[in-house]
Amino acid sequence: MDNPQEKLRTGELKLYALEKYMEADEAVKIRREYIEEATGADLSSIGKYTIPITKVVSRNIENMIGCVQIPLGTAGPLVVNGEYANGSFWIPLATTEGALVASINRGCSAISKAGGADVRIFKDAMTRSPVFAAKNISHAADSVRWIEENFSAIKEAAEKTTSHGKLVGISTYTAGTSVYVRMSYKTGDAMGMNMATIASEAAAKVIEEATGLLLIASSGNMCCDKKPAAINAVEGRGKTVSAGVFLSDELIRTVLKTEAELLIEVNMRKNLVGSARAGALGFNAHAANVVAALFLACGQDAAHVVEGSNCITTAEAADGGVYVSVTLPSLQVGTVGGGTSVACQNECLRMLDCAGDGKAMKFAEIAVSAVLAGELSLLSALAAGQLGKAHKELGRG
């Protein structure tokens, strides 16, 4: 194309349309140069990347101008004793927060020396919740009754839209004339948000036709997607998964440099009482830190760190030591779709043998074990009064 920059300036060519007229890399380069001119900023570092972007620009991003590189570290090895993940794993973590990887690494060491984290998945269901308008309260009540009595018809409509998704449950809620239908799906190895949305839209049409309700939005925020919400902490969303480990008094002293009773008290006063006093939905030390770093490394939807922070950490006295566990009621992960196919992120998934079909449950078990490692290390650092010292030694302000 002749002089695309001039055509962009005159508006003859739209910035978002460059890929229609040239190869993806050239389009990204021209768009970046245009933004450099418009802003006066040097974007040369953003223009250096290695990932193949032809599919990226069609599936993962619009108006691409380059890549933002995030430092990638690894913690481990972490021994996991799950139903899907069994073995020793090196955890990829993308972050700019100094001391985070070092902290998680220490937790991995403690868990592995203790024989590994025991992990189980208790629930697996992605949700979407259309909201409808009823004519009045009686109409709302009658409609809810129909929905509850006709699960099979709703399920049939929803599952016609997907070869992988399965509608496994429906819950109804009302507020005046608003009717919310929270639909729960098995979504295979995909995180499943798009799958659940498309299926719920088809199901909503059946509900509209049968009840006379008016569909207002395919998502009415009872799902609840990418927002802090008690319903996800209580009912779960995505994977509900727990990991626990018994640590002996000797191991706590030698690896974590503290005492069992101090670790228990810090957890009780900080994670449980402190969080309750603050009205927090998460009762943990820094679960979101680990979830975010792992999500960025492995191509997950970073906004779902919100739900991933719904973590409860417990520390209980046991004979000869302490049993520490974490429960993530709303961990949303996938090993196919979304950002999982981007080259760098796919390589991180391959580090864990979690790329592709049949791996989502394994990835969830590894993720919760990494969260356990992070919780153990930070709680121990606080118990031993080491947190400030660690940041100072590693040059962090």
Whether 164 is a known active-site residue: answer no
- Please tell me which residue in 97, 156, 259, 261 is annotated as part of the active site: 97
CA distance 368 to 291: 8
d(CA 280, CA 275): 5
Dihedral over Cα of 347, 350, 354, 356: its sign: positive
Q: Is the omega angle on the peptide bond into residue 224 within 30 degrees of 0, that is, cis?
A: yes
Nearest to 105 by CA among 391, 294, 373: 373
Question: Can you tell me which residue has the tokens 């909201």?
Answer: 131
Which pair of structure tokens corresponds to residue 43? Answer: 């974007």
Three-state secondary structure of 78-143: EEEECCCCEEEEEEEEECCCCCHHHHHHHHHHHHHHCCCEEEEEEEEEEEECCEEECCCHHHHHHH
- Rounded CA separation 327/35 (Å): 45
Which one is catalytic: 261, 301, 347, 353?
A: 301
Nearby residues of 110 by Cβ (< 8 Å), 6 or more positions away: 245, 247, 251, 252, 255, 256, 373, 376, 377, 380
The verdict on whether 301 is a catalytic residue reads yes
What's the maximum distance between 2 C-alpha atoms anywhere in the chain? 77
Structure tokens at 116: 């590994």
Q: Give yes or no: 124 in active site.
A: no
Which residues on neighbouring strands pair with residue 79, listed in sequence order? 88
Contact at 8 Å (CB) between 132 and 213?
yes
Cβ-count burial of 124 within 10 angstroms (0-12 exposed, 13-18 middle, 19+ buried)?
buried
Q: Which residues are catalytic?
A: 97, 301, 391
